[in-house]
Structure 1
């Protein structure tokens, strides 16, 4: 048994749009994902999350699921448009009451709430009226929304995450149009990323100035990154792999930990990469109490021939901004893949943690998402015998343990994605990541074997 440090945080994660449903109930306003999913051709089989897991009506049942498996922490997101239907202005008290019920149920059952303020579901009104994340003013709206959350819930919520995977909002939402709001551009991803970083800085400034001392909580940001392994030991491929990581994770982490975007981005992107004002730079620097990482896989990286046009890879490859970063990505045929076509290489997780540790000065790290989708799980009998999921989590946790014990990385927690099967964004209900099977026709939850296996890990604090 590999023992994890005392007080290691064990959790599972979800997101509001993916599980809540109740899309027009309780005073909730529409989000950009409601509009996107109701647009024909944007999601698998034109599926939407109007009902999805129906968590809106099943809080008590879902908290009981968490309690039954001994969950220590639950990471979930607030729906901004459930709290502020127009994104600004009048507060929806029914929305506040909904999250009060959830938070109180978690606390009563000894489960620590970890709240993500923004998991991609911008209120539609802000998109229609202000051009959404492209408008620099969005930072002020984010700050006011966050302040409401701190005021109403900060007496019980002590762990805040400002943004989930800003890379996805920028690249998938505004670069290749795969996610809401479905825009395509070579310039907009950099503007959106810039505004999200500025928004993060303002949110944290509000929390630290007005709430943190009294509420005694922590606040950070969660970024996603896949590892980039040099395809060969050549200097060119090593440089390409490093450039790939800087374009993926450095883009969002360097301004917080090092004061500006990576040099390779400045060189490649030129005037399309915005510049921070001194005020924004000051707010951003050291604005994360911990480093949140969503990690799923990785690929080989190599230097492309000078005359080759590097096309944007498919969304699941998480390449992004390929023409600018000029990194060629590839797989090893021997690698096992998940149902998302993501490579299963646990040592890449250890390497990713080490890279973060070295580049950003040994920050406390939480893996805020890791997990796998498996095929055939629409069938509940197939789903409950998900030994491959348990094995996936096991080998990744072993890699995490090596990072802690051997590499001295300050990894403090692990959240499995996901507590239950849910609406997998543009892929609809075609992919299942859950520790619990959900029958989307009836809403019935059924624990998979992985839920029991993960319960043992949490109970033993060991794998």
Structure 2
């Protein structure tokens, strides 16, 4: 990282690694591991940007009360966050509470993809769940847990540590499939469900009217106090973006390639046509989609500070180090970010996914996003720089003359 010239590194703290039972005693070995990592980053001038929750719910909390569908998670998550703020906050100034909460709620509490809950049917592997309600209950509790942790930080730590706490969503680029009025209206509904679901409470204190009208009693309700707690509880919005999709008013295959329960998208009343997905090497190349997301957030949500926490391109994992398509992808998307900043977006950072090849939640080890190749057959897990690593190093140190003079004009933090 230091040789590449990285200014920041984003990583997640495993709740189970730090507090194995989800609550109670802290694991001293887990604590030491993260302290050493953070100190090492700092010693090389690399800013740690920490995500507190990246899907790894301690099993005991699932067994005890079903995880995110129970309000008990709010107290337990806040206690976990308190440990992290106390132990690491002197060196960590950027905290994201929950990783891409929108897709996490949709996939894990409505689709049962890889893990989680969904309505049990002969077509699903779920043993428990209710896709019609639990997606929204889980999302509601995520917002409340985030607000609780964020408010704790402001009351107990911010004056001394002077850090920031944010919340992240998965942000598809959304574009009408045709220029018909129906497809334009469907795209607006999709934006309400995929952006407004989490962002409107964080910025304005309540869910979008479109969701309230459609879902009725299936959508949880914020009390007046809860609305005040959630509103303005995020110092920044974390954006995870890989792909742009087209939205139509007519039935079309779901974005999720292994989807079996499409309740959320039926509720949304709009149909998604994917131009590619992160479990495939057939990946879209639509940098204007990211630019449109940043512009939409500027226009619709009071131009919040934006941290782009993930952006990158998957390729088949093999020994080929000339990953030219990845270089072209990263360069084009950084250009899109620059355009958005020039147009007034308060975008402050850009993180590439990922530094090294790793286990992907959908693609496993078959696909990789890494700029460094990892030989998983080698006992030492040998790492070799790909072309993208060399290009990104040159981009960061200014030796590569990037189109649109990206280096001299990009005001955000170009980091991994």
Where in structure 2 are the equivalents of 1:257-276 lying within 5 Å? 257-276=203-222
Deviation at 1:445, TM superposition (A): 1.1
Match of 2:286 among 335, 345, 358: 345
Counterpart of 2:256? 314
The 1:193–1:341 alpha-carbon spacing in structure 2 relative to 1, beyond 3 Å, is farther
Number of residue pairs matched?
Answer: 387
Counterpart of 1:277? 223
Distance in 2 of aligned mates of 1:316 and 1:161: 28
SS of aligned partner of 2:74: helix
Where in structure 2 are the equivalents of 1:373-452 lying within 5 Å? 373-375=314-316, 377-378=317-318, 380=319, 382=320, 384-405=321-342, 407-442=343-378, 443-452=381-390
Distance in 2 of aligned mates of 1:278 and 1:162: 23
Pairing 1:101–2:39 present:
no
The 1:336–1:394 alpha-carbon spacing in structure 2 relative to 1, beyond 3 Å, is farther
Counterpart of 1:125? 60
Deviation at 1:357, TM superposition (A): 0.6
Query: For each residue in 1:50-88, what CA deviation from the matched residue of structure 2 results, as whole angstroms up to 9, or x when unmatched?
Result: xxxxxxxxxxxxxxxx11211110000000011100000
Distance in 2 of aligned mates of 1:315 and 1:284: 33
The 1:316–1:368 alpha-carbon spacing in structure 2 relative to 1, beyond 3 Å, is farther
Counterpart of 2:128? none
Pairing 1:79–2:34 present:
no
Counterpart of 1:220? 166
Distance in 2 of aligned mates of 1:299 and 1:95: 40
Pairing 1:372–2:313 present:
yes
The 1:206–1:256 alpha-carbon spacing in structure 2 relative to 1, beyond 3 Å, is same
Match of 1:299 among 220, 238, 245: 245
Distance in 2 of aligned mates of 1:241 and 1:156: 42
Counterpart of 2:397? 459
Pairing 1:288–2:234 present:
yes
SS of aligned partner of 2:2: helix
Q: Which structure ranks higher in relative contact order (CA pairs < 8 Å, sequence separation ≥ 6)?
A: 1
Counterpart of 2:49? 114
Distance in 1 of aligned mates of 2:211 and 2:306: 25
For the Cα contact (< 8 Å) 1:316–1:341, is it kept in 2? Answer: no
Distance in 1 of aligned mates of 2:182 and 2:209: 17
Counterpart of 1:38? none
Deviation at 1:410, TM superposition (A): 1.3
Distance in 1 of aligned mates of 2:306 and 2:26: 34
The 1:174–1:217 alpha-carbon spacing in structure 2 relative to 1, beyond 3 Å, is same
Pairing 1:147–2:88 present:
no
Distance in 1 of aligned mates of 2:257 and 2:223: 32
Counterpart of 2:144? 198
Distance in 2 of aligned mates of 1:258 and 1:416: 30
For the Cα contact (< 8 Å) 1:311–1:323, is it kept in 2? Answer: no
Structure 2, unmatched stretches of 5+, are 120-130, 399-406, 411-416
SS of aligned partner of 2:86: helix
Counterpart of 2:127? none
Distance in 1 of aligned mates of 2:78 and 2:304: 25
- TM-score, L = length of structure 1: 0.80
Match of 2:189 among 243, 253, 256: 243
For the Cα contact (< 8 Å) 1:75–1:415, is it kept in 2? Answer: yes
Structure 1, unmatched stretches of 5+, are 1-65
Counterpart of 1:91? 26
- TM-score, L = length of structure 2: 0.89
* Structure 1 range deviating more: 100-109 or 277-286: 277-286
Deviation at 1:408, TM superposition (A): 1.4
The 1:340–1:122 alpha-carbon spacing in structure 2 relative to 1, beyond 3 Å, is farther
The 1:248–1:179 alpha-carbon spacing in structure 2 relative to 1, beyond 3 Å, is farther
Deviation at 1:450, TM superposition (A): 0.3
Distance in 1 of aligned mates of 2:310 and 2:263: 20
SS of aligned partner of 2:111: coil
RMSD of aligned Cα (Å) = 2.0
Deviation at 1:363, TM superposition (A): 1.3
Deviation at 1:270, TM superposition (A): 1.4
The 1:331–1:192 alpha-carbon spacing in structure 2 relative to 1, beyond 3 Å, is closer
Counterpart of 2:175? 229
Distance in 2 of aligned mates of 1:182 and 1:387: 39
